[in-house]
Amino acid sequence: MSERGVKLTGGTLVAAGMMGTNLAIYGFNVIAARLLLTHDFGALTALFGIILVGTVSALGLQAVTARRLAVDPGHADEIIGATLRVTLMVSGAVGLVVAASSIGLTPALKLDSHWPVVLCGATLVPLTIMGAQCGIAQGLERWGLLTAIYLANGIGRLVGGTTAMLIEPNPTSAMIGIAVGSWLPVLVGWRTISGHSSPAVAISRRPLLREAFLSTHALLAYLVLSNMDSLIARNRLGEHNSGLYASGLILAKAALFFPQFVSVVLFPDLARSTDHRARLRAVAIVAGFGALAITATAVLPDVALILAGGDDYAEITDRLWLFAVSGSSLAIVHLLVFDALARHAHGVVVMVWAGVAAVAASAYGFGVGITGLVVTMAAVAATLALLVYLKPIPTGAPPA
């Protein structure tokens, strides 16, 4: 098979793996909406926001590891050795920091116990390790293994979290199941770190840490932007309305997550491109998925309500299309952030943080409700996508 054919097959596998993971996570959200009380589901959604923001370190490690292995495969053992040392340090630090944040996040999210946030920290330990394993598989172009790791992540959450909620339907029980299930992708990806000889010369951890920090910065800003409304809803809208907002977020996250495989499959084209054609093609594909999601939600709101949790959340029916707009706009921002990473254009970070500030100022300055919050998210995301696309950011030189 030609090199182009191998890459096409690899891209198809990865796309299928990511879509399978997103479907599993979506399925878990639907199950949780039906098993939990409205206010408990709102709390669980806010906890998912913490986990998603916490995984930024895993994404940074994945990007750095994959790049290093791709450009220097002759030193794979040394690179993997350095990655493992850094990963153990970072995963432990992330888990401890998030667990310690329960002191402040528990009252902010109006939780009855510190344990759900502590369990978020426990969950982030295997998820950070998984990020490094994904980077190794990606850098070595082991597409089948990368796909298996992605699928195991979704299945682990679906099976572990659902089983725990069937035993005891509350946020703490759900987080216990998710924390246990998050070790499944680590077990599946064990081959990425086994079978490599011990390196004769160890690579310094400092350059890898520095690169991981730079890669993480833009991803952190984006993850904060795309998940802050779930935390704001829990903090500002009250238990009942935050549960309704969480129901709408099921559709928003579906519209956001589904087209993310485009960023992975087209990332090489974006990195090699010297004009705007690759970016225009990628944006057009993601925007097409978004238009389809918005149209389907607007035309079939009752069907969308079934997917968003059922009749218990009927109050949100006529506003579900707004959540599809919000998620679709954030999907385009996601693509443009990865386009910036492909071109080493770090200036995008400033614009994304500005979007975060705009959402926070509107939500806390004007006291928005359900409609106001989702409209704010949609407007800020759409404006940010337009500004980033129309005003290209200077491209920096790739790290040596």
pLDDT of 7: 52
Q: Give ∠ CA 65-335-228 in degrees, rounded to 5.
A: 90
pLDDT for position 397? 42
* DSSP state letters, 244-280: HHHHHHHHHHHHHHGGGHHHHHSHHHHHH-SSSHHHH
307-349 per-position pLDDT tens digit = 777 777 778 788 888 999 999 999 999 999 888 877 777 788 8
Tell me how far apart the alpha carbons of residues 120 and 62 are, in angstroms, rounded to a whole number: 20
What is the token pair recorded at 346?
């770090």
The pLDDT score that the predictor gives to residue 283 is 92
Looking at residue 151, its pLDDT comes to 95
Q: Which amino acid would we find at residue 333?
A: V
Length of the chain: 400
- The per-residue pLDDT for 313 is 76
Token pair for 220: 């952190």
400 residues of the chain, pLDDT tens digit each: 555 555 556 667 887 888 889 889 888 988 998 999 888 988 898 898 889 888 999 988 887 787 778 767 788 888 898 899 899 999 999 999 999 999 999 998 888 899 999 999 999 999 999 999 998 987 787 888 999 999 999 999 999 999 999 999 999 999 999 999 999 999 999 988 776 555 555 677 787 787 778 778 888 899 889 988 888 888 788 778 888 888 888 888 888 988 887 877 776 667 666 678 888 888 999 999 999 999 998 888 888 887 777 777 778 788 888 999 999 999 999 999 888 877 777 788 899 999 999 999 988 888 788 888 999 999 999 999 999 888 765 544 444 4
In degrees, rounded to 5, the angle at the alpha carbon of residue 185 between the alpha carbons of residues 182 and 189 is 150
